[in-house]
Amino acid sequence: MKKKLSLILAIVLMISLFGIIGSLAAIKTVYTNIAVGATYEASEPYTLRTYPNDYQLIDGKELTDGVKATTAYGTEWHAFCDNTGDKSPYYIIVDLAEKKNDIKKLSIQFQDNTGAGIVKPVSVVYSVSDNGTDFTELGTATESGSGAYLNYDLICSTPASGRYFKAVITKGGFFTFASEFEICTGEEVEVSDVSEESDVSGEPPVYDDPDETILAVDKNSQCYISGDYLCGVPMNTDYKSFLALLNSTVGIKVLDKNRAVKTSGAIISGDSVVKTVNDEEVDTKIIMIDGDVNGDGEIKANDYLLIKRAYLGTYTLTGVNFRAACITNGTSIVAQDYLKIKREFLGTYSIHTKYENPITEYDMTFTAVSASMYRMNCTYENKPFSLTFDKKTWGTWNIGTWTYDGKALAGGGTDWEYVFRSSPTSSGGTAFTGGNHENERLVEIKFYDGSTNKELNLSVGKSESIKNLKIVEKTQILFDKTTTPFCDVVRTYRVAGNNITLDVEYSYIKDVYFELSYTCMFPIAKTYGLYIQFNNLDGTKKNVETLKVGASDYSGPQHSSPALDCTMWGYLNDSYKFDVKVYTLGDSCDFFKNDKKTFYWDMNTTHNKLYYSKYNMGSKTLVKAGTTQYTRSSWTFYIDESVG
């Protein structure tokens, strides 16, 4: 009897346990659009007639090419037109080539832009057929979204099966613009936190929780892990400030070089930070501070002498002392290292300026201009200043255009962030991926008041007054012309008036081969960027004047130098200055091992463009799955009062 009672109790406990576990999770439907690339027929598009807008130039694939529209008159739209007064509805029939089962969602994007005569449908009714002739109605769509771009969705109460899927569209006005007919299967997955329904093509992205047994730094700090070392700690960092550089202080101990626990005082080269779980040490990193070669927390003449003697071969530095001496390239001691120490000691140079945090606060207004554009407005030096943030046709967002006193200074459509020449194999060519070159998929984007961390959910036309704008965008970079991601990316933008800072965390999920790539760029009009000063890593400066009228075929000259910091100005309003910096020498520029380094390109007749580069053309570099990289860049516009 006791055995039976024990068994019953055990079963009850197991059921209770499963109930608890189940309560911690939720069921989320992940949709996959299987209509990408499918053929279709539809009511005649207005674009077959003469009309002076780009949406004439369609190719008959707009409704199933996998690209939703983000501009009012782009080639993503199939434009229907009621120019005869015929009140009959429009239709679209998509052919999946064979019968498909388990269809759970149907959706079409429409534009609602009454000022241009483009009006959303009165209704959309979906139906299905096996033969393309006899259709069975599935239901009427529900409108979702806000602003100019709306989705008409139907979630099937019972999964549908068929080869042909039809939409009957009751027109609401003169024009009806449709983009992307999505036919989606659905898979229910168990997740711990459901934010919103996923609706992207291909495999759903997964962002794992951090491993609690691994020591990690705050991605918004200047620090990084390199082998056995924790690098990037600024000079004169005290114990409390150091803890703020870590992503978590749970189980953290700081030890001095004799392994005594530190709870106060300055952090110096040779100290270590230890991650513990249940009092067991699970991860340890030695703290390295650039230039603090002798580990006393200061930069003095003795550090200069040690580095110089090590460079000349009359003294041997090892361990953290050697690593602290490799200021320029992180791997070896070069002459510039002891010269930098000397200039630091004399007060004419600062090694640790690369660890400055440029994030500040500024009175700004943030506005949702449209479904594909946000704008920051402020006043700088008593004149209006603005920055746009633009959505690309493939769904990701990029920095747009800087405008001051009514004049466009920089940007205007080409990228600032990054672009990678990548390939899944070591043979064959590479292709541009990410940035302004597509082959990237949006996972999620959120906007915040960076001062309060309040999320900003603005409908089109609405504004918010803020002092710091924070944008967190999660994407996946894809192999060329595939839906296969090789890297999960988290971009964190900070905007404060005339300054932009971008932190990017790359988590590689597949092996990938790279050729010449760029982790920070800056496109600028020649009128405001004819000249550049490279502020080189060794403390020297290089000044270049570019062509006032550049080449018309994008083949203008390039001017390069090993600089983490560059300043540009032009021949109009030459007091207008632009500083562009990268702070992460290794992950941004691979310690300038490649031949391009930092270069300024005479891009075309009217514009120049700055590139911080890594890797070489014609020599593929493998980055393994599991690798994590982190970069920080900043762009600043200012008026140099000393000019004029």
- Distance CA(605)–CA(550), nearest Å, equals 4
- Distance CA(160)–CA(577), nearest Å, equals 60
Split at pLDDT 50, 70, 90, the class of 144 is confident
Is pLDDT of 300 > 80?
Answer: yes
Q: Once rounded to an integer, what is the mean pLDDT over residues 477-493?
A: 94
Q: Domain 364-639 is of which CATH architecture?
A: Distorted Sandwich (2.70)
Is pLDDT of 631 > 80?
Answer: yes
Q: Once rounded to an integer, what is the mean pLDDT over residues 41-45?
A: 88
Provide, rounded to the nearest whole percent, the portion of the chain with pLDDT above 90.
46
pLDDT of residue 557: 85
Split at pLDDT 50, 70, 90, the class of 179 is confident
- Residues 191-202 as b/e (b if ≥16 CB within 10 A, e otherwise) read eeeeeeebbbeb
Split at pLDDT 50, 70, 90, the class of 124 is very high
Is pLDDT of 223 > 90?
Answer: no
Is pLDDT of 339 > 90?
Answer: no
Higher pLDDT, 433 or 296: 433
Is pLDDT of 644 > 70?
Answer: no
Higher pLDDT, 261 or 56: 261
Is pLDDT of 352 > 80?
Answer: no
pLDDT in tens, 560-585: 999 988 999 999 888 999 999 998 88
pLDDT of residue 6: 44
Is pLDDT of 181 > 70?
Answer: yes
Q: Which pair of structure tokens corresponds to residue 391?
A: 């959505």
Higher pLDDT, 281 or 509: 509
**In this structure, are residues 387 and 637 in contact, taking their beta carbons and an 8 Å threshold?**
no
DSSP 537-569: TTS-EEEEE--SS--SSS---EEEE-EEEEEEE
Q: Once rounded to an integer, what is the mean pLDDT over residues 17-38?
A: 62
Q: Once rounded to an integer, what is the mean pLDDT over residues 400-427?
A: 90
pLDDT of residue 192: 41
Is pLDDT of 216 > 90?
Answer: no
pLDDT of residue 213: 57
Helix-helix angle 335-346:301-312, to 10 degrees: 170
- Distance CA(534)–CA(570), nearest Å, equals 15
Q: Once rounded to an integer, what is the mean pLDDT over residues 254-269?
A: 91
Is pLDDT of 271 > 50?
Answer: yes
Poorest-confidence range of 202-206, 386-390, 546-550? 202-206
**Taking all residues of the chain, what is their mean pLDDT, rounded to a whole number?**
83
Q: Where are the domains of the chain?
A: 30-191, 224-355, 364-639
Higher pLDDT, 24 or 272: 272
Residue type for position 137 = E
**In this structure, are residues 102 and 186 in contact, taking their beta carbons and an 8 Å threshold?**
yes
Is pLDDT of 2 > 50?
Answer: no
Q: Which pair of structure tokens corresponds to residue 617?
A: 């053309």
Is pLDDT of 3 > 50?
Answer: no
pLDDT of residue 250: 86
pLDDT of residue 217: 80
| DSSP secondary structure letter of residue 210 | P
pLDDT of residue 13: 40
DSSP 393-452: TTS-EEEEEEEETTEEEEESSS-SS-EEEEESSSSS--EEESTTS--EEEEEEEEEETTT
Higher pLDDT, 360 or 492: 492
At residue 124, φ and ψ (nearest 5 deg) are: -135, 125
Give 224-355's CATH code, choosing from 3.30.1490.390, 1.10.1330.10, 3.30.710.10, 1.20.120.790: 1.10.1330.10
Split at pLDDT 50, 70, 90, the class of 206 is very low
Q: Domain 30-191 is of which CATH architecture?
A: Sandwich (2.60)
Q: Once rounded to an integer, what is the mean pLDDT over residues 401-420?
A: 88
Provide, rounded to the nearest whole percent, the portion of the chain with pLDDT above 70.
84
- Distance CA(206)–CA(200), nearest Å, equals 13
| DSSP secondary structure letter of residue 533 | E
Split at pLDDT 50, 70, 90, the class of 47 is low
- The pTM assigned to this predicted structure is 0.53
Split at pLDDT 50, 70, 90, the class of 221 is low
Cβ count near 559 (within 10 Å): 18
Higher pLDDT, 310 or 414: 310
Poorest-confidence range of 36-40, 54-58, 310-314? 54-58
Instruction: State the pairing for strand pair 485-496/499-508.
Output: antiparallel
pLDDT in tens, 66-114: 777 766 666 678 888 886 677 789 999 999 999 999 999 999 999 887 7
Q: Which pair of structure tokens corresponds to residue 586?
A: 């290794």
